[in-house]
A and B are shown apart, each in its own frame.
Chain A
Amino acid sequence: MIAQKPFALFQKTGNYVMRIFPSFFSIIGEIGQFIVFLYKTIRLINPKTLRYGLVIKHIKLMGVDSLFIIALTSVFTGMVMGLQMGRAFKLFQAESLTGAVAAISISKELAPVFASLMFTARVGSSMAAQLGTMRVTQQIDAMKAMAVNPMHYLILPRFLATIFVLPLLTAMFDYVSMFGAYVVGVELLNIDKAAFVQRTIDFMEVSYIVEGLFKAAFFGFLISSISCFKGFHTQGGAEGVGRVTTQAVVISSVCVLVSDYFLTALFF
């Protein structure tokens, strides 16, 4: 990899330190490499040079690819919420609150987190594997040799598409899972339809949905940057592609869960 001038000193220092403490600093080295990767990607955002066609292509691919799996996850999440809340509230003769509590927990937490985890499994892994394969089969080198910046062509469109598409999938998760909670609550547990809907309207706020969508956009940022970083820096042939794909999914999932706590604690 060619050292860019502003990073040459950091790279040299990093290499020197890593020679002294190889295992401990390899993690710190990778985090540093990730930050540089992120900086280089964000620096490329320019409305005049952005490849809008590629961004739209990735939005379509990611959205369509994930639609079914997220719809399936969301309907069952909603149904489980309806069932558990309905049963619990029945103990206090407060079944009508089922819809409200389900709606709040889904929109604030479950929708962004579950949608992001499913998205990581479906799209994050595919991004890492695709970029990893391109790296080990020299397709990324070929792109560079043709004077095309692979960060601009391959990474940036995926990065922006993920940030855009994940909140949309989360919004779909909100509606489909509420439908699931409604079906179980009203049709299965015989909660009064009017009370279920009215209580939900009383307690729900638009800000809860916005909060969930904001979280989803942030998770999208995490998933795309981690998956692209891992795929882009693949080494070691087919085995390497398998390894980075697993790493991309595991690290993205952990980061989603950990950052969810801190986002909630600090901002919401």
Chain B
Amino acid sequence: MMIRVQNLHKSFGEQHVLKGLSMEIREKSITCIMGGSGSGKSVFMKCLIGLLKPDKGEIYIDGESIMGKTQRQLQGVRKKIGMLFQDAALFDDMTVMENVSFPMLEHTQTPEDEIQDRVITKLKEVGLENIEHKLPSELSGGMRKRVGLARALMLDPKIVFFDEPTTGLDPIMTNQIGDLILQTHQRYDVTFVIINHDVNLSYKVAEEIVMFHQGIVADQATPQALVHSSHPFIQKFFNAHVDMEQYR
């Protein structure tokens, strides 16, 4: 297992967000984590990359426990992880080239011209060309996400987290991002963990879906199996999506 979580708890004051969450994610799989707003998806992801410290429980990344580690010790684990944030979280004052080369400049001694070539290659892989000298403010939402993905892939991570990769995008762009996720996964063959609300995207890309409800895992199954789940929340969640066929 690439990620193993046992009995994870996290509270903010009186608010108990994660209430004993346990789950496992297979190596080299694409897993979508879904759930209603406030179900603890983002908090869970922040716990996995060490941005939040859980109150209780165990987290194993690639067989290594991250609980009780200092920020310095966590840096080794973080190098195995690439992360695409919701709005890409590109550095405003850096060009696309500087943004994408940032992790390599920080963590390797690779010569600058080699890094630049690698950036151009990574950008091509995510479908972008000749934008190296643009600033993030000059890019569209979809382009920003692609640049964010190129940056996340720079250090060849073992796991890539996607935080709501299609939020704020139109349906065509959402579909393209879905294709991009599949192509990238095929090319790199690493573990993808995608947090999202989008049922269509999840059914398009996921090998397994984990449903969160009220701070615990309501169900974890393949997309095909999950449709037949007897859990009332999951039934409600999927029924809430409009079936376009009835309008045709």
Contact = CB atoms under 8 A, between A and B. Distances in A.
Residue of A138, A144, A147, A149 with highest tally of chain B CB at under 10 A: A147
Contacts of B76: 147
Contacts of A148: 102-103, 106
Interface string A152-182: 0000000000000000000000000000000
B195 to A, nearest CB: 13
Interface in A128-152: 130, 133-134, 137-139, 141-142, 144-149
B53 A3 contact: yes
B199 interface: no
A48 interface: no
Contacts of A147: 74-76, 78-79, 103, 106-107
Contacts of B87: 137-138
A142 B83 contact: yes
Contacts of B151: 146
A4 interface: yes
Contact of A139 (B51, B81, B92): B92
Given A137-B89, A138-B87, A139-B92, A145 B49 contact: yes
Interface string B108-123: 0000000000000000
A2 B53 contact: yes
Nearest to A139: B89
A148 B83 CA distance: 13
B52 interface: yes
A130 B53 CA distance: 26
A154 B90 CA distance: 15
Nearest to A142: B89
Contacts of B103: 146-148
Given A5-B70, A138-B87, A144 B92 contact: no
Nearest to B94: A139
B222 interface: no
A267 B28 CA distance: 65
A239 B73 CA distance: 35
Contact of B91 (A2, A139, A141, A145): A139
Interface string B204-223: 00000000000000000000
A5 B70 CA distance: 8
Given A3-B53, A141-B51, A144-B51, A149 B86 contact: no
7 nearest CB pairs, A to B: A142-B89, A147-B78, A147-B75, A138-B89, A145-B83, A2-B53, A138-B85
Given A145-B51, A145-B81, A147-B107, 5 more contacts: A4-B70, A137-B87, A141-B51, A144-B49, A149-B75
Interface of A: 2-5, 130, 133-134, 137-139, 141-142, 144-149
Interface of B: 46, 49-53, 70-71, 74-76, 78-79, 81, 83, 85-87, 89-93, 102-103, 106-107, 151
25 contacts: A2-B50, A2-B51, A2-B52, A2-B53, A4-B70, A133-B92, A134-B91, A137-B89, A137-B92, A138-B89, A141-B89, A142-B85, A142-B89, A142-B91, A144-B50, A144-B78, A145-B78, A145-B83, A146-B78, A146-B102, A146-B106, A147-B75, A147-B79, A148-B102, A148-B103
